[in-house]
A and B are shown apart, each in its own frame.
Chain A
Amino acid sequence: MVFRKGTEIMNKAVTNNQVLLPKKKRKLWKTLWDQKYLLLMSVPMLLYVLLFNYYPMWGWRYAFQNLDLNTIKKGADWIGFENFAWLFGREDFLLSIRNTLAMSLINLVFGTLSSILLAILLNEVRTRWFKRTVQTVTYLPHFLSMVIVVGMAQNMFISNGIINTTLIKLGFVDEPVFFLGEGKYFWPLVGVINVWKEVGWNSIIYISTMTSIDPTLYEAAAIDGAGRFKRILHVTLPGIKSTFVVLLIMNIGHLMEAGFELQYLLGNPQVYDYSRTIDVFVMEYGISNGKFGRAIAAGMFKSLVAIVLLFAANFIAKKLDEDTLI
């Protein structure tokens, strides 16, 4: 009796519910209630990302306002594209675009070549402990901060540092070369430091691709009479081709990122024309001089070019996917 009454009530409740809410909506609420702990674990992070990653984009409106330290209190005025016009009328901004592209191309070319070369050399090592040691040592600089790296570079490249003393001893130069104070040395210096810092780390991905190459390919090549260099040329290099292409395309999307810390820390008044990247420019005008509007315009220009490059890279990737990779 009691039981029957209970079921009756329950049935009634269910029918009532069905009347009150459309079926789909009721189901959604029930799902949400079932997943309340999942919501609890993810919604705070969602809000966090909205605040710290998406809300700042609203700040892009300042690119069209004359916002600086004076106007930030009483409110800035809309000035249209004046900030952009100002930017492109400045030689140092145009130079910073050139420097950004030049240094990221240097990083891209030498970074890629050096890490592939290191991966090939390591792949040929048969002694396991030696391979591990080389890897441990070459990964190390990746974990050092740029401040430390620049400090070390200073010790190496100053007029009485090891590089200059060696060059003089070997008779390449008579006078110490002023590596850190002459503009023409800045780009090569950045290239060398970046390769030194990242070559081991960047080779990881190539090494892991090489270990997945089918060993029977090497055996077959050896039976066909291919020597070590022929095997590298015809088995190893084709084996890493797709990784190479994928990374290359990804890096094209990052061409506007030449790095900030290294140029900012290593730069000095003598080399500014070569060391100032767009990021350094934004830092100088935005933070040091408080010209927020102009700096945001510069940053926005960089982001827009980066997005165009990303789409271009994706387009190329799709084309390659259709034509060659499959």
Chain B
Amino acid sequence: MTAATLKKVKKPGQKRDIVFPFINGVILCLLMLITLYPVLNTVAISFNDGTDAVRGGIGIWPRVFSTEAYKSLLSDEQIFNAFFISVSRTLITTILNVILTSMLAFTLSRKEYVLRGFITLLMVLTMYVNAGLIPNYLLISRTLKLSKTFWVYIIPTMFSCFNMIVIRTYINGLPEALAESARIDGANDLRIFWQIIFPLCTPVLATVALFVAVGAWNQWFDTQLYNGSKKNLYTLQYLLKMKLATSMQSMNAANTSADALVNATKSTPVTIRCAITVVSAAPILVVYPFLQRYFVTGMVLGGVKG
């Protein structure tokens, strides 16, 4: 509507109204290209022949097409195991986190709840004060002895305060009468939450689930901290991080490109590194376009309070 009105009013400016959208479109297309180029480049390298790829200069299309990198991934048992660990940690964390976080959000949305103010204050404070890396490390590895177990991926990530506030804001926006009528019909708070509020929260829960799942899938640091010595508990991201570190070392051991070439062939081939990158990014790339409409609403909701 605005655009139509503007066009009617501004007759002399018509010429600029064609030029500007064109330049704007070109700039935004360039931006998309810059955003996508590294991704496409990685995919191209992963489908390129290994020895040829070391020469560099591959654009967004493989120069010598080959699927050897993926074939060697398929024969690598550690990759399979890491994929399994990554998938299970992501699934378990997401399910637990969404249920527990929304449960607390529900109780803190009940205005009659006596501990509401106290718990809310404690939760909000955690977003500002953090004990830091080492005290948390000492708690998890020394006090709770979660090191070298799968549970170190699950237990410390079962709850998130920011997401709790996002969900609570959403619940506060639901009509009060829903819970009220259920209560008159004799439902207790547990049933009101599970059968009425939880299903109604689907959009916001999808957002939160997306955030939690992406966070869990992308996590590599906890593997390094707690499970660095347990090869069968490595996640995909940590495996990729290890390959990255070795290629970084070999690159910096030699400052001239000729030496770098020799070195690069000795460490993990760049094609395999790119193939692991593609495998570990693929689940996100596949799921992400479908969930886009959810996370924007989630961001706006969180922005209101957070």
A270 at the interface (CB under 8 A from B): yes
0/1 interface trace, chain B 91-131, chain A, CB 8 Å (1 if under): 00000000010011011101011110001001100101111
Tell me the nearest residue of chain A to B258, going by C-beta: A159
With known contacts A151-B244, A228-B20, A139–B107 Cβ distance under 8 A: no
**Contacts A42-B115, A143-B284, A205-B299; A154 near B247 (Cβ below 8 A):** yes
A123 CB to nearest B CB, Å: 10
List residues of chain A with CB within 8 A of the CB of B56: 158-161, 165
Interface residues in A62-83 (C-beta closer than 8 Å to B) = 62, 72
Interface of B is mostly: helix
- Asked if residues A49 and B139 are in contact (CB atoms below 8 Å), the reply is no
Structural contact, A59 and B138, CB atoms closer than 8 A? yes
A-B contact pairs, 22 of them (CB 8 A): A41-B107, A53-B130, A56-B135, A56-B138, A125-B21, A138-B31, A139-B292, A144-B218, A144-B284, A145-B217, A145-B281, A148-B280, A155-B45, A160-B55, A181-B251, A205-B299, A218-B2, A222-B9, A228-B13, A228-B20, A287-B134, A299-B132
Contact B2 A196 (CB under 8 A): no
**Interface membership of B36, Cβ < 8 A:** yes
Which of A4-12, A18-26, A31-39 has 4 or more CB atoms under 8 Å from chain B?
A31-39
Complex interface: chain B residues within 8 A of A72 (CB)? 142
B97 to chain A, nearest CB (A): 11
Q: Are A302 and B132 in contact (CB under 8 A)?
A: yes
- On whether the beta carbons of A155 and B41 are closer than 8 Å, the reply is yes
Contact A49 B159 (CB under 8 A): yes
Q: How far is the CB of B236 from chain A (nearest CB, A)?
A: 9
Contact call A268/B214, Cβ cutoff below 8 A: no
Establish whether residues B241 and A147, one from each chain, have CB atoms under 8 Å apart when the complex forms. yes
B132 pairs with A296, CB closer than 8 A: yes
Contact of A286 among B9, B103, B137, B249 (CB under 8 A): B137
Contact residues, A32-60 vs B (CB, 8 A): 32, 35, 37-43, 45-46, 48-60
- A61 to B, closest residue via Cβ: B135
Cα of A269 to Cα of B10 in the assembled complex, Å: 60
Closest to A118 in B: B31
Partner of B126, one of A31, A49, A265, A302: A49
- Stretch of A90-98, A129-137, A183-191, A317-325 with 4 or more beta carbons under 8 angstroms from chain B: A129-137
Interfacial chain B residues near A54, Cβ < 8 Å = 122, 126
Chain B interface size, as a band, is 35 or more
Could you tell me if A145 and B129 are in contact, using CB atoms closer than 8 angstroms? no
Q: A269 to chain B: which residues have CB within 8 Å? A: 252
Q: Is the CB of A38 within 8 A of B132?
A: no
Chain A interface helix/strand/loop/mixed: helix
The answer, yes or no, to whether A249 is at the interface (CB within 8 Å) is no
How many Å lie between the Cα of A204 and that of B144 in the bound state? 40
| Of the residues B134, B135, B240, B289, contact of A136 by C-beta under 8 Å | B289
Asked if residues B126 and A261 are in contact (CB atoms below 8 Å), the reply is no
**Complex contact A49–B123 (CB within 8 A):** yes
Q: Counting CB contacts under 8 A, is B300 at the interface?
A: yes
Q: Are B126 and A53 in contact (CB under 8 A)?
A: yes
Complex formed: what's the CA distance from A300 to B20 in Å? 51
Look across to chain A and name the residue whose beta carbon is closest to the beta carbon of B193.
Answer: A41
B273–A147 CB distance below 8 A: no
- Chain A residue nearest to B247 in the complex (CB): A154
The CA-CA distance from A143 to B217 in the complex, in Å, is 10
Separation of A299 and B277 alpha carbons in the complex (Å): 32
C-alpha spacing A135/B188, complex, angstroms: 44
The 9 closest A-B pairs by CB, nearest first: A160-B56, A59-B135, A145-B218, A299-B132, A56-B131, A56-B135, A37-B189, A152-B38, A42-B107
Instruction: Contact check, B28 vs A121: say whether CB atoms are below 8 A apart.
Output: yes
Q: Shortest Cβ distance from A282 into chain B, in angstroms? A: 5
A162 B289 Cβ-Cβ under 8 A:
no
User: B277 contacts which of A52, A126, A133, A151 (Cβ < 8 Å)?
Assistant: A151
A303 at the interface (CB under 8 A from B): yes
Residue among A35, A37, A143, A181 with most chain B CB within 10 A: A143
Please tell me which one of the listed residues A32, A122, A160, A215 contacts residue B57 in the complex, with CB atoms under 8 A apart.
A160
> Which residues of chain A have C-beta atoms less than 8 A from B177's C-beta?
none
Asked if residues B132 and A219 are in contact (CB atoms below 8 Å), the reply is: no
> Are the C-beta atoms of B133 and A279 separated by less than 8 Å?
yes
The answer to whether residues A159 and B220 also contact, given A46-B122, A48-B158, A125-B28 and a CB cut-off of 8 A, is no
Cβ B104 vs Cβ A268 within 8 A: no
Evaluate contact between A124 and B20: CB separation under 8 angstroms. yes
Q: Is the CB of B240 within 8 A of A125?
A: no
In the complex, whether A274 has a CB less than 8 A from a CB of chain B is: no
Chain A CB within 8 A of B200 CB: no
| A101, CB-defined interface residue at 8 Å | no
- Contact residues in A for B188 (Cβ distance below 8 Å): 37
Chain A residues positioned under 8 Å from B257 (CB to CB): 159-160, 176
Contacts of A240 in B (CB 8 A): none
Give chain A residues whose Cβ lies under 8 Å from the Cβ of B35: 137-138, 140-141, 196, 200
Residues of A within 8 A of B248 (CB): 154, 180, 268
A283 within 8 A of B: yes
Q: Are A133 and B32 within 8 A (Cβ)?
A: yes
Cβ of A153 under 8 Å from chain B: yes
Residues on the A chain within 8 Å of B262, using CB: none
Given contacts A42-B108, A118-B31, A155 and B274 within 8 Å (CB-CB)? yes
CB-defined contacts of A268 to chain B, threshold 8 Å: 248-249, 252
